[in-house]
Structure 1
Amino acid sequence: MNSTSIKHMVVFCLHTGKDTPEAERFLEVSRAELAAIPGVEQFEVFRQVSTKTDYDYGLSMVFADQAAYDAYNAHPVHTTYVANRWVNEVSRFQEIDFMVYR
């Protein structure tokens, strides 16, 4: 990651709970749809193992710069995913975006 890259991360819980077949399907579809959007690099899916937080899952990806991140947010696959899947299946979340500290 360089100084203009953005690491986009989100931790979340699903209405269906943790470690359910529905949760597995959500994670699989998320990976397939979001990782294929142009500009997405280093896409990863995480399962929470710490007892210090009550979020169950996480997604992480890197963008080369602000323009790539903005293009991702406006991409029709992303906007459709958010409207049709994220809003309906995620019960709560926290989103963070980082750039390398110089």
Structure 2
Amino acid sequence: MSIQHTVVFRLVHPEGSVEEQAFLDAAPGILASIPGVQNFAVARQVSAKSTLTHQFSMTFADQDGYDGYNNHPEHVAFVANRWGAEVAEFQEYDFVGIA
């Protein structure tokens, strides 16, 4: 059963800043290259109903792929070196189909 992993977040950087763009440019190159990651996408929030402004989404074929991603050294390093310092707020969602 495939897993859809989504993280919705707000950066500490001002909207439209060089720092914001650098983060959004770096993440796909690092995260999408991890084995098991499929359909990596970056999106910008357009609703005024949320303070979270961006989304990373990806799918995994199964739990093993998801676990491999979470434990992969590149993911661990990205979270430690970039995510923790540059993300002000986030929500994480992981879904499997039920129908």
Shift of 1:54: 1.2
Number of the residue aligned with 1:11: 8
Number of the residue aligned with 2:65: 68
Number of the residue aligned with 1:55: 52
Is 1:78 paired with 2:84?
Answer: no
Report the aligned-residue RMSD.
Answer: 0.7
Shift of 1:21: 1.3
Spell out, residue by residue over 1:7-37, the C-alpha distance to the aligned partner (whole angstroms, 9 max, x if none).
0000101111322111111011001100000
Correspondent of 1:25 among 22, 26, 29:
22
Q: Identify unmatched segments of 5+ residues in structure 2.
A: none
Is 1:42 paired with 2:28?
Answer: no
Q: Percent identity?
A: 48
TM-score (norm 1): 0.94
Three-state SS of the structure 2 residue aligned to 1:93 is: strand
Matched residues, number: 99
For residues 35 and 65 of structure 2, what CA distance do their matches in structure 1 show?
Answer: 8
TM-score (norm 2): 0.97
For residues 14 and 8 of structure 2, what CA distance do their matches in structure 1 show?
Answer: 14
User: Match for 2:85: what amino acid?
Assistant: N
User: Match for 2:29: what amino acid?
Assistant: A
Three-state SS of the structure 1 residue aligned to 2:92 is: strand
Is 1:98 paired with 2:80?
Answer: no
For residues 22 and 74 of structure 1, what CA distance do their matches in structure 2 show?
Answer: 27
For residues 97 and 14 of structure 2, what CA distance do their matches in structure 1 show?
Answer: 33
